[in-house]
Chain A
Amino acid sequence: MEIKRYLTRRIIQILVSFFVILTVLFLLFRLAPGDPVSRMIDPSMSPEDAEHLIAQLGLREPIWRQYLVYVKNFFTGDFGYSFHYGRPVLKVIWEKLPNTLLLFTSSIILSALVGIFLGKIAAWNKGKPLDSWMTIGALVTHTVFLPWLALILIWVFAYKLGWFPITGIISEEIWLDPDAGALAKALDVGHHMVLPMATLFCIHFGSYLLIMRSSMLETLKEDYILTARAKGLRESVIRDRHAAPNAALPVVTSVGLSLAFSINGGALTETVFTWPGIGRELVFAVSQNDYPLAQASFLLIALVVLAANLVVDILYAYLDPRIRY
């Protein structure tokens, strides 16, 4: 199978990329000015514990031995102890991962779907006022400064109107209430998620709309659309069944290409809304000089981006039968 070979190659490429990132991060952490020991060991630790950890991480050994220990520790999920939480780093970020995935994937998928839908409508109405307004709206929402948009949304919908909570992910009174059911809890999280999701949605759907629009305009020039017209198919069928699915392919590619950019936005959104995710954890760790936590969060984010790229590749190969690698 051609696809299988292509995917195997991509997986190998992605693994190589990850190893490069892993290695560069190791070198940065060891070669940066300052003492690597103080960077990996919590200053408030007792001397015996510290000695134990130094021996475990091999910090007094030659650098190549340290590297081997580092790689081994990575694959056994041992990232050291967070200075701030005093707990294993993996545990800390493992708890935050679902929150990030929930917010991030739902807003990316929603904005891609809405972007594809609106882009289709805009292209179909090319040159009419509706198209111009949609294009301008997409440009504006796409370029607005994300943290500021988040602050404005908080100001309007949480502060002035009071419709949504200002920050956080859960309300204590609901989660501490023993009578509250799973539904009430889920609704509570959903209630907290509206504004962060709206922020990420606003930033993303515009670019998907613009890509879908130009791709749809290209597709409508294709011969098979002419054939469909000649067959006397209804316009809505041509638009929705013949043109749109093909035109949506570049949007899938661009979701993958812009992932790194989206992750930046995700971290900013989580920070402003104090949404307990990995992005916010990384920002927090950097501000607290909690090096083990910062290192592990960064690696996990890189891993997520690489995995998501692979998912996009697979999706693309599946969606476009013309592509045979």
Chain B
Amino acid sequence: MGGEKMKGDKEIRHRPHWFEQFLEGWSVFWQNPLGKIGVTLLGIFALMAFSSFIPPLVNPMYHPMTGVDPEIYSSVGPSARHWLGTDFMGRDIFSQLLAGARIAFMVGVSAAFMSIFLGTAFGMIAGYMGGFVDTLLMRLADVIMVLPTLLVVLILASLFGQLNIWTIVLIIALFRWPGVSRVIRSQALTLKQRPFIEAARVAGASHIRIIFRHIMPNVLPLAFLYMTFRVTAAIIIEAALAFLGFGDPGTVSWGMMLQWVWKTGHMFKALYWLLPPGICISLITLSFYMIGRAMDEVLDPRLRREETAR
């Protein structure tokens, strides 16, 4: 009974506190030019992703993968009919670009979400449990951290054959949690010493309850910060994989577009085809990175060092 009452009190006190914190954080975030530019850029990409279903509805020849202009069989420069020109098969580059935005969001957000989930869970467990579990998880993190993720995915692609986009997302997530887990772990280590955890333990809360109910709310903001950096990492890895020719052949991603322009030998002839996908990958990376840095300043200025590990 007593435990129930305590929990209730805490929640009532917690909610406005969280919401206010969010509003305050947002105003700091929005004052930062990096945050403003980042969010604006991201909004543009989100718009692109949402409107990617429109071109194929207008005319089937605008389908990014299968649509071919019946009058064009090669790469032709921009025109009113094809705003950014066509690729080597006569497919519309602009609609491919829109479809690429959707794939980038899909890959980036889902891989980041999964790796943050794993990293937060492992970090909290390692920090809270300590001892053998901690050593084991952190050694595992050390090993994974020195592996170049792109090359790992390449090796797996050679062993398991053509990977589809969700497998790629899963592999990226499995190899990108250690960075997050270390930060969350150190946070959990300090939280463990706080009186409210002690109180929860005395009140008879189980380990699982303490971890998810009392530690997790306190590490989540940090986890979200890392999520923005993981998104960029995931987008870059997928794009690089597709660029090397090991992407999912059933999807049109920006990396795939670059591979087509490079492998079909159009890169010297078709700047209208070479420029857009590269600019898009670079800008979406930049926007997530800027948002991450702006959030960084909101949350904790001491975190700046980890960024490079991406």
Q: Which residues of B contact A143 (CB under 8 A)?
A: 232, 282, 285-286, 289
Inside 8 A of B289's CB, which chain A residues have their CB?
139, 142-143
Q: Which of B80-88, B89-97, B152-160 faces chain A?
A: B152-160
Complex: chain A residue closest to B244, CB-CB: A283
User: Which B residues are CB-close (under 8 A) to A258?
Assistant: 308-310
Q: Which residues of A contact B195 (CB under 8 A)?
A: none
Q: Does B262 contact A (CB under 8 A)?
A: yes
Chain A contact residues: helix, strand, loop or mixed: helix
Contact with A along B133-171 (1 / 0, CB 8 A): 000000100110111111100111111100000000000
Contact with A along B218-245 (1 / 0, CB 8 A): 0000000000000010001101100111
Name A147's contact: one of B156, B243, B246, B306 (CB within 8 Å): B243
Please state if B154 and A271 are interface contacts (CB–CB under 8 Å): no
When A and B form their complex, which 8 residue pairs have the shortest distance between CB atoms, in order from nearest? A148-B278, A264-B150, A32-B159, A145-B281, A286-B158, A263-B148, A143-B285, A143-B286
Give B111 Cβ to nearest chain A Cβ, in Å: 15
CB atoms of B286 and A263 under 8 A apart: no
A16 to chain B: closest CB distance in Å? 7
Given A29-B159, A32-B160, A151-B274: A268 and B146 within 8 A (CB)? no
Question: Is the CB of B268 closer than 8 A to any CB of chain A?
Answer: yes
Task: Of the listed stretches A120-128, A232-240, A302-310, name the one at the interface; the rest are far from the partner chain.
Answer: A302-310
Which of B149, B282, B304 has a CB less than 8 Å from the CB of A148?
A: B282
B282 touches A139 (CB 8 A): no
* Docked CA distance A263–B197 (Å): 42
Does B184 lie at the interface of the complex (its beta carbon under 8 Å from any beta carbon of A)? Answer: no
B240 adjacent to A146 (CB under 8 Å)? yes
Residue pair B236, A145 in contact (C-beta under 8 Å): yes
Which residues of chain A have C-beta atoms less than 8 A from B149's C-beta? 260, 264
Q: Which of A21, A140, A211 contacts B308 (CB 8 A)?
A: A211
- Complex contact A298–B309 (CB within 8 A): no
The answer to the question of A294 belonging to the interface, with a C-beta cut-off of 8 Å to chain B, is: yes
A108 vs B166: C-alpha distance in the bound complex, in angstroms? Answer: 33
Tell me, yes or no, whether A103 is within 8 Å of chain B by CB.
Answer: no
With A139-B290, A143-B289, A144-B278 known, 9 other A-B pairs at CB within 8 A are A13-B139, A21-B147, A25-B155, A154-B267, A268-B150, A283-B154, A305-B146, A305-B148, A309-B146
12 residue pairs from A and B, CB less than 8 Å apart: A16-B139, A28-B155, A139-B293, A144-B285, A155-B271, A207-B307, A211-B305, A215-B305, A253-B305, A268-B243, A285-B158, A301-B151
B180 at the interface (CB under 8 A from A): no
A287–B160 CB distance below 8 A: no
Q: Is B258 an interface residue (CB 8 A)?
A: yes
Determine whether the beta carbon of A282 is less than 8 Å from that of B268: no
Contact between B258 and A151, CB atoms less than 8 A apart: yes
B119 to chain A: which residues have CB within 8 Å?
A: none
Q: Does A276 contact B (CB under 8 A)?
A: no
The answer on a CB contact under 8 Å between B304 and A214 is yes
Interface residues of A in 41-61 (CB under 8 A from B): none
Nearest CB of chain B from residue A251's CB, rounded to whole Å: 9
Is the C-beta of A321 less than 8 angstroms from some C-beta in chain B?
A: no
| Nearest A residue (CB) for B146 | A305
A residues in contact with B139, CB < 8 Å: 13, 16-17
A261 proximity list for chain B (CB < 8 A): 148, 308-310
Q: Given the complex of chains A and B, what is the CA–CA distance between A289 and B285 in angstroms?
A: 32
Q: Is A159 in contact with B268, judged by CB distance below 8 angstroms?
A: yes
Contact status A294-B158, CB under 8 Å: yes
B155, B240, B267, B274: most-surrounded residue (chain A CB, <10 A): B155
Contacts of B307 in A (CB 8 A): 207, 210-211
Report whether B159 and A302 are in contact in the complex, using a CB–CB cutoff of 8 Å. no
Docked Cα-Cα span, A208 to B308, in Å, equals 8
| Contact between chains at A155 and B147 (CB < 8 Å) | no
The residues in B between 273 and 291 inclusive whose CB is less than 8 angstroms from any CB of A are 274, 277-278, 281-282, 285-286, 289-290
Q: What is the minimal beta-carbon distance from A101 to any residue of chain B, in angstroms?
A: 16
B240 touches A254 (CB 8 A): no
